[in-house]
Structure 1
Amino acid sequence: MRIAVLDDDASLGDYVSQVLGEAGHSCHTYQEGRRLVNELRRESFDLLILDWEVPDMSGLEVLTWVRSSIQDPLPVLFLTCRSEETDIVAGLAAGADDYMVKPMRRAELMARVFALLRRAYPQQQGVQQLTVEPFEFDATAKTIVRDGVTLEVTHKEFDLAFLLFRNLGRLLSRSHIQEAVWGHDHDLPSRTMDTHISRVRSKLQLRAEQGFRLTPVYSFGYRLEQVGADV
C-alpha cells in the first residue's frame, strides 16, 4: 500500500519508512506540512501517518485540510510526542482514525497500520480472487473472466485492471498507479500508462452503457466507477 509519512525528524521518518517498507508498503516521507498538502493535491495515498508539531503547517492542520478537501475516505494515524488526553481527544475529534504516542514501537506501529488498512480496504488484504459482476479476477493465474469468457490480457493489463477494480470509485494518481503496476521505474514513458489504460478500457468494455466508467482526471490520474447501465 502507498503511505505518506509526515515528520520533521528525517531519521524517524526514514525509520518508519524502513519498517513499513519491509512489510511491503511504499512509503513517501515529508518534513513540512504544507509540502505534504501540496503533494496531496496531485497524489493519492492509502494511508497518512502524521506528526503533530512540524514546520509551516501542523499535523492537525493537515488533517483538517484532508477531511475538508479529499473526497475519498483516507485513513490517518497520528504518531506524535503529544500525549496529553486533551491532545488525543482533539486529534481523534478532528478526524484521525488512530493515535499513537512516541517513542514508536515497531510491532505496535505495524499492527496499527495493518488494522487501519484492513478496515479501510478489506478487499485488498491479500486478496487473490475478486468478483465484480460480470468480472472474475484471479491474481494467481492473472486471468479475467467476463460472463464465462476468459479475456485476452497481458500481465500488465491484468495488474492495472485488478488495481482499478480493487479501488473501485477511488481517484488514483498516476504515480500511485505506476508504483503499483510498474514499480519505481522512473524511465517509464508517460504514454505507457495511457496506452495500457486505453487497452484495458477496450478489452473490458469499460463504458457507461456497460455499467462502468473509467475516466482521466486532468493532471492527477484515473478513476474507475460503477454506474447504472442506463447512464
Structure 2
Amino acid sequence: MRIVIADHAPDVVAHLKLIMEELGYSATGYTDGETLTQALLRETFDLVILDWNIRCKDGASFLGWIQNTLPKAPPVIIMANRSAKRDITDALTAGADDYITKPEDRAVIAARVNALLRGASGGGAFDTEVTYGIYHMNRLDNSVTVHGKNVLLTAKEFELAELFFKHADRTLSREFIMQTIWRTTATLATRTLDMHISRVRAKLELQPENGFRIFTVFGYGYRLESFARQASLTDVKPRD
C-alpha cells in the first residue's frame, strides 16, 4: 500500500511517515499543495493524509480537485487542529473519508488508517476464491479457471493479475506496481515487471473477447481495460 502525506509542518510529515512505515506501508511526504498535486497526477496512491490548511490549496478545494480530476480518487483522511463539529462536518461533506484532530495518539492514527484501507480494499479481500468476469481465482493454490480450464500461475504472476483485476480501468504506474508486488521501486527491476505482465497476458488470454485486456501507457505504466459486454467491476463477487 502506498500512502501520500501532505502537511505544512515538516515535523508532522516526518512523524506520520514514520507511523505509516512502521505499519508496513510505503509513505511519501510533501509540505505544500502544489507538489502534492503533481505527485497525485504522476503516481498512484492508496490513501491521502491531508492537512486541512495545506499551503497553496485549502482542504475543501483540494478534496474537490481529487474527486473531479483523478480517474479513481483514493480515500482521504483530513488532519486538522480544529475539533469543532462544524469543521468535521465541513470536511466530511467536502468529500473526506475520515477526520483526525491534531494532535492524536499514534495508536489511534494507525487504527484509523488500517480501518480505512481495509474498507477501501473491498469486502472480498479475504475470500479464498473470487470471480472477475470469466476469471475464477483461487488464492490457496494461485490458480485461475478460465472457461473451465485451470491455469496455474506463479505467486508473483497471481499477485500481479489480482492487482490489475482489483484496479480494472485504472492506470497503474510502474512505481506503484513494483512497490505493491516486489516491495521496491528500483528501475533496474522494470524488465522483470515487463516479463511478468507479458506472461500474465498470455496465460490468461487477456483479450477483448474475454472481457479484459492489458495495454501499456507509454512513459507511465499499465492499464487493465474491462469491456462491459463481457465483464466489469460490478461483476466482481466472491464465489460460494
On whether the aligned pair clears a TM of 0.5, the verdict is: yes
Does 4-13 or 172-181 show the bigger shift?
4-13
Where structure 2 has 5 or more consecutive residues not aligned to the other structure, the ranges are 232-240
- Quick one: distance in 2 between partners of 1:16 and 1:126? 27
State percent identity of aligned pairs: 38
**Equivalent position amino acid for 1:59 in 2:** G
Query: 1:119 maps to which residue?
Result: 119
Pairs aligned (count): 230
How many Å apart are 1:8 and its aligned residue?
Answer: 2.5
TM-score (norm 2): 0.84
- After superposition, residues 34-45 of structure 1 pair within 5 angstroms as 34-45=34-45
- Quick one: distance in 2 between partners of 1:65 and 1:185? 27
- Quick one: distance in 1 between partners of 2:128 and 2:18? 26
Q: Structure 2 vs 1, CA of residues 123 and 204 (structure 1 numbering), >3 Å: closer, same or farther?
A: farther
Secondary structure (helix, strand or coil) at the match of 2:42 reads coil
**RMSD of aligned residue pairs (Cα, Å):** 2.4
Does the 8 Å contact 1:52/1:82 carry over to 2? no
- Quick one: distance in 2 between partners of 1:106 and 1:15? 9
- After superposition, residues 61-72 of structure 1 pair within 5 angstroms as 61-72=61-72
Residues 71-96 of structure 1 show CA distances to partners (whole Å, capped at 9, x for unaligned) of 21421110111223333232222211
- Quick one: distance in 1 between partners of 2:190 and 2:105? 40
- Quick one: distance in 1 between partners of 2:129 and 2:188? 28
Query: 2:209 maps to which residue?
Result: 209
How many Å apart are 1:124 and its aligned residue?
Answer: 6.6
Q: Structure 2 vs 1, CA of residues 115 and 213 (structure 1 numbering), >3 Å: closer, same or farther?
A: same
Query: 1:225 maps to which residue?
Result: 225
Does the 8 Å contact 1:33/1:59 carry over to 2? no
Q: Do structure 1's residue 11 and structure 2's residue 35 form an aligned pair?
A: no
Query: 2:137 maps to which residue?
Result: 137
How many Å apart are 1:43 and its aligned residue?
Answer: 0.8
Query: 2:238 maps to which residue?
Result: none
Does the 8 Å contact 2:48/2:77 carry over to 1? yes
Does the 8 Å contact 1:136/1:144 carry over to 2? yes
- After superposition, residues 147-158 of structure 1 pair within 5 angstroms as 147-158=147-158
- Quick one: distance in 1 between partners of 2:24 and 2:123? 17
Q: Structure 2 vs 1, CA of residues 15 and 67 (structure 1 numbering), >3 Å: closer, same or farther?
A: same
Does the 8 Å contact 1:7/1:31 carry over to 2? yes
Q: Do structure 1's residue 170 and structure 2's residue 170 form an aligned pair?
A: yes
Q: Which has the higher contact order (CA 8 A, sep 6+)?
A: 2
Does 83-92 or 40-49 show the bigger shift?
83-92
